[in-house]
Amino acid sequence: MKKDTLLEIILGTIGGLIFAVGMCMCLIPEWDLFNVGVVVSILGFIVLLCIIPVYRNSHPKKVHDKINWGIVFTWIIGVVGALVMGFGMSRVMVDNPEGTDMLIGIVVGGIGLLICVLNYPIYSYLKGNKG
């Protein structure tokens, strides 16, 4: 693994965590930290933007031929899986969840997680059948 790749991973992880904590600070009213959350989110976003020069330095420009529909389909599956999982987790985190809310949330969140996990094998299958 190159140093630049490791740096991209570290910056992405740290920036994503800082951004997520800032969003939680903004969106959870009980914490009463909206203004601080905005600042923390912006700092996380700045750390995420620091990935761009590192990536451009380590990856030369590529000539784009035709659209790789396997990648497009993989992105669509990933977004759908993340949305399904997010819906399920939001059902679990309702203010006063009933038993059905909790059960539905866990099942739907698990289905979304399964979609995300199966995304790479689906891409590998599509890539293998490309011929």
- Whether residues 105 and 54 share a domain: the answer is no
Q: What is the pTM of this model?
A: 0.55
Considering the domain boundaries, does residue 7 fall inside one? yes
pLDDT digits (tens, 9 = 90+) for 84-111: 999 998 888 877 777 788 889 899 999 9
The runs of H, that is alpha helices, within 1-131 are: 3-27, 34-49, 51-58, 69-92, 99-117, 119-128
Considering the domain boundaries, does residue 131 fall inside one? no
Q: Which of 55, 48, 44 is nearest to 4 (CA)?
A: 55
Does the structure show a pLDDT above 80 at 64?
no
- Whether residues 23 and 55 share a domain: the answer is yes
The mean per-residue pLDDT over the stretch 52-75 comes to 83
pLDDT value for 131: 46
pLDDT value for 130: 63
Question: 62, 81, 99 — which closes off a domain?
Answer: 62
pLDDT digits (tens, 9 = 90+) for 26-46: 988 898 999 999 999 999 999
Considering the domain boundaries, does residue 6 fall inside one? yes
Domain extent, residue 85, equals: 65-123
- Whether residues 18 and 39 share a domain: the answer is yes
Structurally, how many domains does the chain consist of?
2
Structure tokens at 30: 């009980």
